[in-house]
């Protein structure tokens, strides 16, 4: 019998921002692992680490995967290559590593870039988290989708025509990655007569959470962590 002495890589969903919106399983693992890793901007704090900061026991090794802030559609693959190597060294030495993932690891999460590099060679476990979709619906105090509704998730980074097609064929739409694409999305919603059925949420469940009708949003100030929820048959907000 071969006994594996390598560590396990955990993709740990840490929820959308409120430190209390972490699962008991993620909390247990977060406190138990000797190594944590997390995506971070080139400079400054990692959102995922900030979310769990009050839960950290101290004394853990930390790997910050710092992403260059380029306007490219693709993440910096070399950063993941390097991180996979560093994480792999810990795993090979028998140390478990938890990668902190904002929201849920497999809902548009960058954890997939490590998963595809490491799953063939190491034990990997994904711990699901509360995603921004449900967090935003809760912030809006309105159902995300109900009964036979078709729910569609649309990255606002798509071309305008593609977004319009999706908006026309779904009952409920979550537009994610809004940020600097707010103006484009707003024009499409206006042209389809859907603006009254759309609402904007920024930093859902964080202390900085803001919920607004689209008319009240300043396009230049829309951050990356924002979402627009549209419900064709829902309540008109104005
Ligand atoms: C790359 S996706 C990651 C989603 C994340 N894995 C999840 O489960 O929610 C990033 C997008 O999710 C949305 N998002 C994530 N957290 C959010 C929050 N707290 N409030 C509003 N939108 C959020 C934004 O649209 C953001 O551009």
Distance 139 CA to ligand 1 centre (A): 13
Q: What pLDDT sits at residue 75?
A: 58
Q: What pLDDT sits at residue 219?
A: 96
Distance 3 CA to ligand 1 centre (A): 39
Q: CA 137 to CA 140: how far, in whole Å?
A: 5
Give just the sign of the alpha carbon dihedral 25, 211, 158, 70: negative
Nearest CA residue ID for atom 27, ligand 1:
177
Q: What pLDDT sits at residue 76?
A: 80
- pTM of the entire predicted model: 0.94
Other Cβ atoms less than 10 A from the Cβ of 56: the count is 14
Nearest CA residue ID for atom 23, ligand 1:
225
**Closest to 107 in 3D by CA, of 223, 212, 227:** 227
Pocket lining: 96 vs ligand 1, CB cutoff 6 Å: no
Pocket lining: 156 vs ligand 1, CB cutoff 6 Å: no
Pocket lining: 140 vs ligand 1, CB cutoff 6 Å: no
Residue numbers in the chain where pLDDT is lower than 50: 1-2, 73
Q: CA 112 to CA 160: how far, in whole Å?
A: 27
Pocket lining: 107 vs ligand 1, CB cutoff 6 Å: yes
Q: What pLDDT sits at residue 238?
A: 53
Q: CA 40 to CA 37: how far, in whole Å?
A: 10
Residues 6 or more apart whose CB falls under 8 angstroms from that of 26 comprise: 12, 13, 14, 15, 127, 129
The secondary structure of residue 21, as a DSSP letter, is -
Pocket lining: 177 vs ligand 1, CB cutoff 6 Å: yes
Pocket lining: 199 vs ligand 1, CB cutoff 6 Å: no
Pocket lining: 88 vs ligand 1, CB cutoff 6 Å: no
Residue to mutate, 132, 154, 201, ligand 1, most ligand atoms under 8 Å from C-beta: 132
Look up residue 9 and give its two tokens.
């890589």
């Amino acid at each position: 019998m071969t006994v594996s002495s390598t560590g396990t890589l955990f993709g740990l969903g840490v929820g959308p921002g409120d430190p209390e919106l972490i699962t008991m399983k993620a909390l247990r693992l977060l406190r138990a692992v000797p190594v944590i890793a997390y995506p971070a901007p080139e400079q400054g704090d990692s959102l995922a680490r900030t979310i769990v900061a009050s839960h950290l026991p101290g004394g853990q090794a930390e790997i910050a995967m710092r992403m260059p802030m380029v306007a490219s559609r693709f993440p910096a693959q070399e950063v993941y290559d390097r991180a996979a190597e560093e994480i792999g060294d810990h795993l090979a030495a028998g140390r478990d590593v938890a990668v902190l993932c904002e929201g849920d690891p497999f809902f548009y999460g960058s954890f997939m870039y490590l998963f595809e590099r490491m799953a063939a060679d190491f034990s990997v476990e994904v711990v699901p988290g509360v995603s921004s979709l449900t967090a935003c619906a809760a912030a809006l105090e309105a159902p995300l989708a109900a009964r036979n509704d078709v729910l569609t998730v649309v990255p606002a980074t798509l071309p305008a025509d593609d977004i319009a097609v999706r908006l026309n064929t779904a009952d409920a739409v979550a537009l994610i990655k809004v940020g600097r694409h707010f103006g484009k999305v707003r024009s499409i919603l206006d042209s389809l007569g859907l603006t009254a059925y759309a609402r904007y949420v920024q930093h859902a469940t964080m202390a900085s959470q803001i919920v607004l009708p689209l008319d009240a949003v300043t396009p230049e100030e829309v951050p990356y962590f924002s979402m627009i929820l549209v419900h064709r048959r829902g309540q008109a907000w104005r």
